[in-house]
Amino acid sequence: MAQSITDINGVYASAIESGIKSKGLDLGLLYVPNAVAAAAVFTQHKFKASSVSYTQKCLKRYTLKAMIINSGNANAVTGKQGNLNTKLMASQTAKLLGLNPNEVGVASTGIIGKPLPMNHIETGIITLCKQKEDKQGNQLAESILTTDLVPKSTFKQAKIGKKTIQIAGITKGSGMIAPNMATTLGFLVTNVKLNQEILQQCLTKAINKSYNMLSVDTDTSTNDMVVCFASGEYAINQHDPEQINAFQNCLDEACIDLAMQIAKDGEGASKLIEVRVIHAARYSDAQQIAKQVCDSPLVKTAIHGEDPNWGRLIMAIGKNHTVKLNPDKIQVMLGNETIINNGQPTDIARTKLKKQLQTSKVIITIDCAIGNATATAWGCDLTKGYIDINTEYN
């Protein structure tokens, strides 16, 4: 079994089958009693779930020490009762853990618009709080899944000064994936000691390079949230740019690892797509081009069919007229093969291109040749599996 979030000192987790889903783990507790800082990013959706608004409010004045998390029901667009239910989950958990209700965040994921089965949840919280010091990191990773096929976790280490710091995380997500400032659910823990403001800055930066560069289907969830707890074991020097940089790199790696796992497990996906844009005029241009190629249904279906119809790649690269591009300078590569050089097709053989598509990870590189900005986005192919999963979700 791979290392899990509970392999970090002072981090506890457990999960149970409470009955929200028809079967499987669906309610979990993440508990970091000595957390010195907690940071989070949230969906910018207009119809935020009550778990998002509630946890956002807690973070303004308190350091989170725990998260109570359910899958199988998003508790979004559930009216006033939905808000009350979120608060009930937090206050019941807080009472049993001896915390202030504002120290307990709430996260929910699953179907939108259905009332939470509070009887199952209340009984479940009692069980979870009895085993609050369990080390079931892998079970928690499993309990947050919805249409995901596999649990997703990461464990990264870095040497900072003489200490080895650790960052571990779990995440979920397979459909309704097109984050904006955050996506889906993700929970990270680190053993460093640093203040909340700096942790928030680092997390926001890492999310912009990872979760926010991820798209399975262009749809954005009402419940997206990524939270990071710092357990405070190892102090790092917050005034030393080198130390902060080392921490940032380790956090970036952890977030990118989680984001790629989501793309790979996209609903119905058979291939991971990585689009690298280099030498763009502006960072926002590089991001936009990378994401729009990942999002193009015609690129996604061609890759699924291993059909080297590279015209569609060009279509997807140029479809947004607000982006700076010089059609006469661009270079485009599919895997190791160059398709377009200085804006001219290279007449490469179809069979050679097809080979670049017969892999589980397809890499597209777009060299804009007009600047220094770089961005990478991740997505997946579009298959009949996606249609199957989503024509009858209820």
Stretch that binds a copy of itself, among 1-9, 240-248, 371-379, 386-394 (CB under 8 A): 386-394
Choose, by CB under 8 A, the member of 195, 245, 344, 372 that binds a copy of itself. 344
Q: Which is nearer to a copy of itself, 190 or 292 (CB)?
A: 292
- Sort strands 66-73 and 37-42 into parallel, antiparallel or unpaired: unpaired
Does the protein bind a copy of itself through residue 47 (CB under 8 A)?
yes
Does the protein bind a copy of itself through residue 284 (CB under 8 A)?
no
User: Residues in the chain, how many?
Assistant: 394
Does the protein bind a copy of itself through residue 298 (CB under 8 A)?
yes
Which residues 180-209 are close enough to bind a copy of itself by CB under 8 A?
180
AA letter at 198: I
Provide the 3-class DSSP secondary structure of residue 196.
helix
CA distance 349 to 283: 33
Choose, by CB under 8 A, the member of 104, 230, 323, 373 that binds a copy of itself. 323
Catalytic residue flag (residue 183)? yes
Choose, by CB under 8 A, the member of 10, 19, 318, 371 that binds a copy of itself. 318
Q: CB of residue 338 vs a copy of itself: minimum separation in angstroms?
A: 14
Does the protein bind a copy of itself through residue 312 (CB under 8 A)?
yes
CA distance 91 to 72: 21
Q: Which residues contact 124 (CB under 8 A, 6 or more apart)?
A: 16, 18, 19, 27
Q: Which is nearer to a copy of itself, 56 or 301 (CB)?
A: 301
Q: Which is nearer to a copy of itself, 32 or 289 (CB)?
A: 289
Does the protein bind a copy of itself through residue 53 (CB under 8 A)?
no
Choose, by CB under 8 A, the member of 152, 264, 291, 304 that binds a copy of itself. 304
How distant is the alpha carbon of residue 122 from its chain centre? 28
CA distance 36 to 40: 14
How distant is the alpha carbon of residue 102 from its chain centre? 24
Site string for a copy of itself, 106-145 (x = CB under 8 A): -----xxxx-------------------------------
**Token digits of residue 337:** 């093969």
The region that residue 179 occupies, defined by phi over 0 for left and psi between -120 and 50 for alpha, beta otherwise, is: beta
Does the protein bind a copy of itself through residue 387 (CB under 8 A)?
yes
Q: CB of residue 390 vs a copy of itself: minimum separation in angstroms?
A: 4
Question: Taking the alpha carbons of 25, 200, 216, 55 in that order, is the dihedral positive or negative?
Answer: positive
Choose, by CB under 8 A, the member of 24, 98, 241, 311 that binds a copy of itself. 311
Cross-strand bridge partners of residue 163: 160
Q: Which is nearer to a copy of itself, 24 or 311 (CB)?
A: 311
Backbone phi and psi for residue 12, each to the nearest 5 degrees, phi listed first: -125, 150
What is the per-residue DSSP string for 232-279? EEEE--TT-HHHHHHHHHHHHHHHHHHHHHHHHT-TT---EEEEEEEE
Within a 10 A sphere around the Cβ of 394, how many other Cβ atoms?
4
Q: CB of residue 391 vs a copy of itself: minimum separation in angstroms?
A: 3
Please answer whether residues 294 and 273 qualify as being in contact, where contact means their C-beta atoms are separated by less than 8 angstroms: yes
**Token digits of residue 314:** 């060009």
Question: Taking the alpha carbons of 379, 382, 384, 386 in that order, is the dihedral positive or negative?
Answer: positive
Does the protein bind a copy of itself through residue 44 (CB under 8 A)?
yes
Stretch that binds a copy of itself, among 55-63, 130-138, 254-262, 319-327 (CB under 8 A): 319-327
Residues that bind a copy of itself (CB under 8 A): 44-47, 74, 76-80, 111-114, 175-176, 178, 180, 217-222, 295-298, 301-302, 304-305, 307-312, 314-321, 323, 325, 327, 340, 344-345, 350, 382-384, 386-387, 390-394
